[in-house]
Amino acid sequence: MIPHYLIKSLSQSFKEGRSVPDSFFDQIYPDEVKKVSITHWTPVEVVQKAMNFFKDSSFQILDVGSGCGKFCHVGSMVSPQHQFSGVEQRPDLTFISQDIATDLNLDNITFINANAFDLNWNDFDLLYFFNPFWENHLSPSQRIDQSLPVKKEEFSHYINTVILKLSQMKLGTQVITYHGFGGKFPSSYECIHFENAGTDQIKIWLKTK
Ligand SMILES: C[S@@+](CC[C@H](N)C(=O)[O-])C[C@H]1O[C@@H](n2cnc3c(N)ncnc32)[C@H](O)[C@@H]1O
């Protein structure tokens, strides 16, 4: 269980728009999740900046490859007007994400344990990518864990599938990237905003045609 004082302190900080160090936020996660945070999970600052861009709207948001759920957990506390969904291939991370959302009393989040490509992305208005397939390029010791047979050769197939799915999205779809998604956006998208955040930039893309 997450201690009550921690939930209260995080809620208050987000409500007041204060910055929250990752080491403080990450206390909500089990040790095995915390220890890979710096490499694999979105920094709090990145979520705060991205959500600030969408503060006057209310969207169905999908985090493609949601890991331990950090993007959705922070996003949901910062911007309760959105509906967050996270799709994650690793069952243990999906269960942890859901348990944490319940502990935090967040009712605008759903986590789905599935291959992201099996979902209809057109059910969402806004997609989020933190370079979800890059793990295929990492050595075993750099990966989240050893539970999956991630393969370098499959990277370009994943990226081509993302590009195809992006090109089939409805007009007006927006996409947030942090460290990109691993490929180039189709020409039907325009980058409408970028700013420095974390160790890279947040970019916001709009499907215009
Ligand atoms: C870099 S982590 C990002 C986690 C989360 N979005 C965040 O920003 O904190 C990428 C995640 O994508 C997941 N992933 C990769 N390929 C996937 C797929 N085809 N379907 C679902 N999840 C996938 C990985 O298991 C990993 O947890």
List the CATH code of the domain at 4-34+44-207.
3.40.50.150
Q: Name the one residue in this structure whose structure tokens are 């909500």.
A: 28
Cβ contact 33:99 at 8 Å = no
The answer for residues whose C-beta is within 8 angstroms of residue 95's C-beta and 6 or more apart is 113
Range 182-191 average pLDDT: 98
pLDDT on residue 154: 85
CB 156 within 8 A of CB 136: no
- pLDDT score recorded for residue 36: 97
> From the CA of 128, how far away is ligand 1's center (Å)?
11
> What atom in ligand 1 is closest to the CA of residue 178?
8
Measuring from atom 13 of ligand 1, which residue has the nearest CA? 65
Assign 152 a pLDDT band (cuts: 50, 70, 90): confident
Q: Is the pLDDT of residue 199 over 80?
A: yes
Tokens 């890279």, located at residue = 200
pLDDT at 149: 80
User: Where is 100: in which H helix or E strand?
Assistant: helix 91-103
- Site to probe by mutation for ligand 1, drawn from 38, 62, 66 as the one with most ligand atoms within 8 Å of Cβ, is 66
CA torsion sign for 196, 142, 75, 181 is positive
Site residues for ligand 1, CB cut-off 6 Å: 40-42, 63, 65-67, 70-71, 87-90, 93, 115-117, 130-133, 144
pLDDT confidence tier of residue 151, bands split at 50, 70 and 90? confident
Could you tell me which residues are beta bridge partners of residue 128?
A: 63, 176
Ligand 1 atom nearest to CA at 65: 12
**Protein residue whose Cα sits closest to atom 4 of ligand 1:** 67
Cα of 191 vs centre of ligand 1, distance in Å, is: 23
Work out the mean pLDDT of the chain and round it to a whole number.
96
For the chain, the structural domain boundaries read: 4-34+44-207
pLDDT in tens, 40-93: 999 999 999 999 999 999 999 999 999 999 999 999 999 999 999 999 999 999
Asked whether residue 23 carries a pLDDT value surpassing 90, the answer given is: yes
Tens of pLDDT, residues 86-110 = 999 999 999 999 999 999 999 999 9
113-130 pLDDT, tens digit per residue, is 999 999 999 999 999 999
Amino acid at the residue 11: S
Structure tokens given for 65 = 């490859």
pLDDT at 7 over 80: yes
pLDDT at 134 over 80: yes
- Which atom number of ligand 1 is nearest to the Cα of residue 39? 1
> How is residue 154 written in tokens?
């499959």
Q: Write out pLDDT tens, residues 155-166.
A: 999 999 999 999
* Predicted local confidence at residue 130, as pLDDT: 98
Quick check: 150 pLDDT over 80? no
Q: Which atom of ligand 1 is nearest to the CA of 129?
A: 6
pLDDT score, position 3 = 94
Pick the residue whose CA is nearest to atom 8 on ligand 1: 42
Q: Name 76's bridge partners.
A: none
- Ligand 1 centre to CA of 14 (Å) is 25
Measured CA distances, 10 to 23, 74, 132 (Å): 12, 9, 26
- pLDDT at residue number 144: 92
Per the DSSP assignment, residues forming a β-bridge with 176 are 128, 204
Q: What are phi and psi of 111, to 5 degrees?
A: -115, 135
Q: b/e string for 93-113 if b means 16 or more Cβ within 10 A? A: bbebbbebbeebebebbebbb
Name residue, tokens 């969402």: 124
